């Protein structure tokens, strides 16, 4: 899997076909909501026309049949569909013309952002034609230093390709369309605060938890002073307590949306540097050969499901272990590894692949469903 190479342009030598994966469209979600509404309406109609004894007998059968069909609908719908991308000269033909034609003129590149986590999950080619736009994602693709990201990041795409096929598609685009730039400078990787670390989760939830505690303290104080004994006192207390809770909720949501990097890794041929992204100060530095690594797995239990995330600990001399992970269960280790400590940092799939290759762990990496 190619984490992203500098692109050299050159244009297309002839027609070429790519098989992309499409995500569920608007029709799927409309259908899902329609089926849910049909369930509620169906239950209401049955309860009105059937006697209670019959309803009690029919209800289990109705629920099993409906929920079974609903599950099948979701499983097949979320798998997405295969979409054909045919490159003909200076344009992409989508799904043999049924989806339209999109010329390369005006094409641009951007990062594919995972909004819920704050990391990048690939690169996106922006095309437009006939008043419509087409966003083609390169999953796990890391843009080389020679590619210019001229479009703003997006968090969803219309179709996506694996990284190597996306590189091949970029090679079909004229160099006059997506202008390359000279590669320069060290390789950098932003480490964002982990979304599964108990410590980070507690820090994010602190305003809400604090507002709940403060509400309890204020309520007890008002009760002790007799402020809740009268109607007027309760009319004043309830809005006050509501404001405290709303303020805690707003602060919690605001903090969860601020996804700035906590650390930054910078690598050149001579050394790896760990920087504070806020001040630019170097916290630790060492040649890559002097940095030991430890592979592991961290298990998360959520709503009755179990998720195993591959982790990588970087032991940089002069600094505590930097434990990071990729929030994508497609990635794992092919051999037996120990369960590790909760990772403090998260990276996107392109950076994860690059780091794994950089420290010689690529032979152990397993990518499921690719």
List, for residues 323-333, the tens digit of each pLDDT value: 999 989 899 99
H or E, element range at 21: strand 16-22
Are 216 and 209 within 8 A, CB to CB?
no
Residue 139, strand partner residues:
122, 162
The DSSP secondary-structure symbol of 60 reads H
Are 358 and 288 within 8 A, CB to CB?
yes
pLDDT at residue 137, rounded to an integer:
93
Q: Is the pLDDT of residue 180 over 50?
A: yes
Q: Which of 172-176, 310-314, 326-330, 333-337 has the lowest mean pLDDT?
A: 172-176
Q: Is the pLDDT of residue 3 over 80?
A: no
What does the block give as tokens for 280? 């630019």
Give the Cα separation of 145 and 65 in Å (integer): 54
Q: How many CB atoms lie within 10 A of CB 126?
A: 20
Q: Is 53 exposed, middle or buried (0-12, 13-18, 19+ CB in 10 A)?
A: exposed
**Helices marked H in 100-230 — which ranges?**
163-172, 198-224
Are 323 and 341 within 8 A, CB to CB?
yes
pLDDT at residue 51, rounded to an integer:
79
pLDDT at residue 197, rounded to an integer:
63
Regarding pTM above 0.75, the answer is no
Task: Report the Cα 348 to chain-centroid distance in Å.
Answer: 8
Q: Which residue has the higher pLDDT, 315 or 176?
A: 315
pLDDT at residue 125, rounded to an integer:
94
pLDDT at residue 139, rounded to an integer:
92
Give the Cα separation of 295 and 361 in Å (integer): 8
Residue 286, strand partner residues:
272
Domain ranges of the chain: 16-23+80-183, 26-78, 198-257, 263-367
Smallest CA-to-CA distance from 123 within 166, 94, 90 is with 166
Are 345 and 322 within 8 A, CB to CB?
yes
* pLDDT band at residue 176 under the 50/70/90 scheme: very low
Q: Is the pLDDT of residue 338 over 50?
A: yes
pLDDT at residue 9, rounded to an integer:
39
List, for residues 108-125, the tens digit of each pLDDT value: 999 998 877 788 999 999
Based on C-alpha coordinates, what's the Rg of the chain?
26
Q: For residue 215, give Cα distances in angstroms to 201, 208, 223, 225, 235.
A: 21, 10, 12, 15, 15
**Mean pLDDT over each residue of the chain, to the nearest integer:** 80
């Amino acid at each position: 899997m190619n984490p992203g190479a500098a692109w050299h342009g050159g244009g297309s030598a002839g027609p070429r076909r790519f098989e992309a994966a499409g995500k569920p469209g608007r029709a799927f979600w409309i259908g899902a909501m329609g089926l849910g509404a049909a369930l509620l309406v169906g239950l209401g109609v049955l309860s009105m026309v059937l006697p209670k004894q019959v309803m009690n007998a029919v209800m289990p059968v109705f629920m099993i049949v409906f929920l079974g069909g609903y599950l099948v609908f979701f499983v097949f719908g979320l798998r997405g569909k295969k979409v054909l991308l045919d490159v003909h000269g200076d344009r992409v033909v989508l799904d043999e013309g049924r989806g339209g034609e999109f010329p390369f003129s005006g094409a641009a590149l951007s990062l594919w952002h995972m909004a819920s986590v704050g990391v990048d999950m690939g690169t996106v080619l922006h095309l437009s034609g006939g008043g419509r736009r087409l966003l083609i994602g390169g999953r796990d693709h890391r843009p080389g230093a020679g590619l210019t990201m001229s479009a703003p990041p997006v968090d969803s795409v219309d179709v996506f390709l694996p990284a190597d096929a996306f590189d091949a598609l970029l090679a079909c685009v004229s160099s006059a369309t997506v202008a390359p730039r000279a590669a320069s400078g060290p390789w950098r990787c932003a480490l964002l605060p982990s979304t599964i670390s108990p410590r980070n989760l507690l820090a994010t939830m602190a305003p809400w938890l604090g507002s709940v505690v403060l509400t309890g303290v204020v309520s007890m104080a008002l009760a002790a002073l007799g402020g809740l004994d009268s109607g007027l006192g309760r009319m004043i207390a309830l809005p006050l307590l509501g404001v405290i809770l709303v303020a805690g909720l707003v602060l919690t949501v605001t903090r969860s949306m601020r996804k700035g990097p906590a650390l930054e890794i910078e690598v050149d041929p001579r050394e790896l540097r760990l920087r504070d992204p806020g001040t630019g100060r170097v916290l630790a530095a060492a040649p890559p050969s002097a940095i030991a690594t430890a592979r592991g797995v961290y298990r998360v239990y959520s709503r009755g499901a179990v998720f195993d995330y591959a982790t990588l600990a970087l032991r940089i001399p002069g600094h505590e272990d930097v434990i990071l992970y990729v929030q994508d269960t497609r990635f794992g280790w092919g051999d037996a590894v120990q369960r590790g400590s909760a990772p403090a940092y998260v990276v996107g799939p392109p950076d994860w692949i690059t780091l794994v290759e950089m420290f010689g762990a690529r032979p152990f990496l397993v990518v499921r469903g690719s």
